[in-house]
Amino acid sequence: MNKNFIYSGLVALVVSLTCVGAINLLQNSNKTFKIEHITKTPASKAVFTLDENDKIIPLDFTKTADEVVDAVVHIRSTHIYNNNNKQNFQYRNIPDPFRDFFGDNFNRFFGPNYKFESPNMKSNKPPTKVGSGSGVIVSEDGYIITNNHVIADADDIEVTLHDNRTYKATVIGTDPTTDLALVQIKEKNLPKISFVDSDKVKIGEWVLAVGNPFSLNSTITAGIVSAKGRNINILKEQYAVENFIQTDAAINPGNSGGALVNLDGGLIGINTAIASPTGVYSGYGFAVPSNIVAKVMEDLLKYGVVQRGVLGIMIRTVDGNLAKDKDLDIISGVYVDSLMQTSAAKDAGIKVGDVILKVNDVEIKSSPELQGMIARYRPGETVELLINREGKENVFKVVLNNRDGNKALTSKENVEILNILGADLKDLDKEEAKKLDIDHGVEVTKLYPGKLRKHTQIREGFIITHLDGKKVKSKEDLINALEKKKGGVMLEGVYKDIPGEYYYAFGL
């Protein structure tokens, strides 16, 4: 027991002397201790990829992001509802339980002209709807490509650059069939994004999506091209073209109209849609290929409207089931299901049952791919189709028609008031006027997205005889009068094939 006490004492003495020595050493030393924070990890660029020459290069998104972010803008579109729309908030829009409670006695209690109005409706300020999206600067002098649904029916379009400069934009033209639109701001020396050949984009290739999701300006996400030639049936136009590039780079509401670029900063598509059960990103985004975008932009600038060549055929994608049903010896391509009466393909010798394999030496595997390829050509242009007919391959040259079945290009005057109305006009000739028993008038020959289509039931072929009760003698007089107008407009006129006079009102 005494030995244990002795050992314990010796241990305590050694520990004490060690502590005292350490304290004296620290007190007598002039050295200080400095705590340093590591600001950079020793390892960087640990992920690599291959360039077009199969050379191994570091995978780094920062350089690409710096190159493209300045050329992607935020677009704010405002639609002002006409005050006349207040008539919609009447008896029929009162909640069903409220109406059901009073039943047939509703008019006796409240009167036939009762209007159910919210506090906002009593304000003098007209109700508005504000949308948000993105756009891509494609020229130094302010041309911006975006989605048609971003600016459709907008009364005011505001563009904000990456550096927070803000401008009002003018619509140059729209193409609902591809959901694209071209607008312009008045500025020069702007940063822009260059186009690349979207046909050369490969599945698995790294891409960046640049835009303004949820109004979060200048957001960049990364992913890969996960598929090409996608059709998701989101566009409801009769001649809609869906040949989307699919990506898993995160795209959300507000990304619409933004850029999908490769790692060189080249534009490969315009982000347009998502496939989602919730309305937000869940893994799949879709972009209009840059080759289609370039064609639409060129047409809008040159003609004011997109020139769309058509084959005049009804088609289906060839798969195993169709091949078995039609006794085909191939399981890839596009099957010609029927031919229209005014079919350019029929005139070239193509028959029902043929399978289209290539367009101008570009392989075609599905109907969306064929639509996307033909959408790049104008009426009157020639395309070569490689056709499989009963196991034999032949090349047919097809001169494309327009939708009316001829080779003519569509013209559209680039007059601001006509762009606002969304119409082409021509003076009524004397013979037609005589048949209609009128001595003056201006005919609406073509309708585009604009106020007439949106706010009225006007049809192509309507002959305007009066504007606000005054005679319309010529197209020039009508344009001059409309350019001076503000507020409500009343058009009066007739149709060649419908009896009676018709009136259409809208606001400027």
By annotation, the residues acting in catalysis are: 149, 179, 256
- pLDDT number for residue 18: 53
pLDDT band at 109 (very low <50, low <70, confident <90, very high): very low
- pLDDT number for residue 4: 53
SS (H, E, C) 57-117: EECCCHHHHHHHHHHEEEEEEEEECCHHHHHHCEHHHCCHHHHHHHHHHHHHHHCCCCECC
Check for a shared fold between 313-399 and 416-507. Answer: yes
Order of strands, edge to edge, in the sheet holding 170-175? Answer: 166-168, 156-160, 72-80, 128-137, 143-147, 180-184, 170-175
pLDDT tens digits, 418-435: 878 888 888 988 888 888
- pLDDT number for residue 45: 45
CATH class of the region 53-82+126-303: mainly beta
CA distance 199 to 180: 19
Q: Which residues pair with 131 in a beta bridge?
A: 77
Is 257 within 8 Å of 215 (Cβ atoms)?
no
* Residue the block writes with tokens 């948000």: 132
Among the listed ranges 123-137, 199-213, 346-360, which one has the minimum average pLDDT value? 123-137
- pLDDT number for residue 97: 45
Pairing of the two strands 219-230 and 244-247? antiparallel
H or E element at residue 368: helix 367-374
Task: Report the share of the chain in percent with pLDDT over 70.
Answer: 80
Is 201 within 8 Å of 268 (Cβ atoms)?
yes
As a whole number, mean pLDDT of residues 376-401 equals 96
CATH of 416-507, one of 3.10.180.10, 2.30.42.10, 3.40.50.1100, 3.40.50.620: 2.30.42.10
pLDDT exceeds cutoff 70 at 174: yes
pLDDT band at 283 (very low <50, low <70, confident <90, very high): confident
Higher pLDDT, 238 or 21: 238
H or E element at residue 438: none
- pLDDT number for residue 497: 85
> Which of 13-17, 125-129, 318-322 has maximum average pLDDT?
318-322
Cite the beta strand spans of 148-266 per DSSP E.
Answer: 156-160, 166-168, 170-175, 180-184, 206-211, 219-230, 244-247, 259-261
Average pLDDT, the chain: 83
pLDDT exceeds cutoff 90 at 227: yes
Taking residue 160's Cβ as centre, other Cβ atoms within 10 Å add up to 16
The DSSP output letter for 461 is T
Whose CA is closest to 210, among 136, 158, 132, 285? 136
* Residue the block writes with tokens 């780094």: 60
The domain segmentation of the chain, as residue ranges, is 53-82+126-303, 83-122, 313-399, 416-507
The domain defined by 313-399 carries CATH number 3.30.70.80: no
Q: How many residues does the chain have?
A: 508
pLDDT exceeds cutoff 70 at 220: yes
- pLDDT number for residue 26: 44
Residue 437, φ and ψ in degrees, nearest 5: 60, 40
- In the numeric block, which tokens belong to residue 104? 């047939």
pLDDT exceeds cutoff 70 at 83: no
